[in-house]
Amino acid sequence: MARLFSRRIGRLERRLKDRHGNCRSTLWQLTAMYRDLRCYDDARRCLERILELATEDGERVSCLLQLGANMEKDGDFEAAVGYYQTCCGMEPEDKNARYFAHNNLGFCLNMAGRFDDAEPHLHTAVRTDWKRHNAHKNLGLTSLARGRLREAAEAFITATELEPRDPRATHHLLELLLDNPELVEQAPHLQEEAKRCEQLIQQTAVQEPSTPGSSDGDGEHEEDETG
């Protein structure tokens, strides 16, 4: 398989060279293949070239989102932040692009420990598309890091209600209640809500055994759409 990939990549790179690096379709193909092989530097090189060649804002936005996702996969969250910030600054008209830009930026800022900076972007993502669970989950993590435990719990509950096929928000909720028994004393309904979330996940797993994927922890990407 690796040899097959290598031959195909060689052909595509030769085609790109013959066209003086100006073939966007070839660059997109190479990007996908390099990313599948976890050759993130090569994928970034192709995406940066696409960005240079792009003539429409829609393609630039798509490319910036892909660049951010690529750097997340490579574990370079600070670099991902830069691409997502540029994308947010373009104020995408497309609702999905606007959601992904702000949600993923918030996620990466969380990962970088910049919770104050993350929060407004996650609120924007929630306002953009309230029904997507990931922004609620990421906002819960931000609230947790900032010591707003009840807000965090409520966000995790909402995330589970919106997407019970993804158990991560409930895992965060259970850990939160286990680590902070005083919160249960102050808001006893949270214990019942946690049990309800667990039941919801179990029921959904029986009905729909496939769990939606998310390639980067609590991040979210269009090509992996679960959300």
At residue 6 the predicted structure's pLDDT band, cuts being 50, 70 and 90, is confident
The model's pLDDT over 169-217, given as tens digits with 9 standing for 90+, comes to 999 999 999 999 999 999 999 999 999 999 999 999 888 755 454 333 4
CATH 1.20.120.1200 fits 80-221, yes or no: no
pTM, two decimals, is 0.88
Distance, CA of 58 to CA of 117 (rounded, Å): 26
Tell the residue number behind the tokens 């660049």, with chain if given: 67
Tell me if 106 sits within 8 A of 136, measured CB to CB: no
Q: What is the pLDDT of residue 217?
A: 41
Tell me if 217 sits within 8 A of 123, measured CB to CB: no
The model's pLDDT over 154-172, given as tens digits with 9 standing for 90+, comes to 999 999 999 999 999 999 9
Tell me if 191 sits within 8 A of 178, measured CB to CB: no
In terms of Cα–Cα distance, which of 147, 143, 221, 150 is closest to 185? 150
Distance, CA of 157 to CA of 42 (rounded, Å): 40
